[in-house]
Chain A
Amino acid sequence: QQQVKQSPQSLIVQKGGISIINCAYENTAFDYFPWYQQFPGKGPALLIAIRPDVSEKKEGRFTISFNKSAKQFSLHIMDSQPGDSATYFCAADPNTGFQKLVFGTGTRLLVSP
């Protein structure tokens, strides 16, 4: 019940295309859903986050879509660029009041030039 399931495991998108990564959860206590971007040899960096009281949040080329009833959320990267090539992790916080994040298994994105 504490798991966050992420798909796909890897993704290849052409430059300018839309990258879509999906996550699903079971624990209805989760109340904060961040997405992290990680480059090789670096720590994860927060991209965008959403709370379950909104269905969509957009920041630049990055959009989170959230479906509370289905317990699913997704990251859309519009106009994907080669510099977006990285591993992306969804995560969820089980309402602990601090960042006890449960991470998905990651999606390795490659944007081809």
Chain B
Amino acid sequence: DTGVSQDPRHKITKRGQNVTFRCDPISEHNRLYWYRQTLGQGPEFLTYFQNEAQLEKSRLLSDRFSAERPKGSFSTLEIQRTEQGDSAMYLCASSLGQGVTEAFFGQGTRLTVV
């Protein structure tokens, strides 16, 4: 499968715990995005990487959230001290560089904070 891969697919955690999600983009894509989707809503932009540089962060990304993309390949999204409001589907997408090109989404990581 050469699509965007996310791991894990599902994560249940207790409130206050830290969680980390991984995204492996399509190999030749130098742009990577994280979105969050809550039940019954459309995805909301969280952050964007061009290669290893994080170039844009939404105000939705509080201080408890951090994303990295070392070496411009896979990316991780960490949520510290999880809250019940963090329960959502976290989607990763990737695209080729230069201009607006199609973003390919992964299947997402479903986070449930209990």
Contacts and interface: CB of A to CB of B under 8 A. Distances in A.
Given A44-B91, A99-B95, A99-B100, A104 B42 contact: yes
A58 interface: no
B107 A99 contact: no
A45 B91 CA distance: 12
Interface string B54-97: 01100000000000000000000000000000000001010100
A6 B42 CA distance: 10
B87 to A, nearest CB: 16
A108 B2 CA distance: 28
B103 interface: yes
Given A43-B91, A102-B45, A106-B41, A93 B108 contact: no
Interface string B18-55: 00000000000001010100001111110010100001
Contacts of A91: 42
Interface string A96-107: 111111111110
Nearest to A91: B42
Contacts of B99: 97
B43 A100 contact: no
A60 interface: no
B43 A44 contact: yes
A62 to B, nearest CB: 15
Contact of A103 (B42, B106, B108): B42
Contact of B31 (A6, A49, A98): A98
Contacts of A49: 102
Contacts of B101: 99
12 contacts: A43-B93, A89-B43, A93-B100, A97-B100, A98-B50, A98-B95, A99-B48, A99-B100, A100-B56, A103-B43, A103-B44, A105-B42
Interface of A: 6, 31-32, 34, 36, 41-46, 49, 89, 91, 93, 96-106
Interface of B: 4, 31, 33, 35, 40-45, 48, 50, 55-56, 91, 93, 95, 99-108
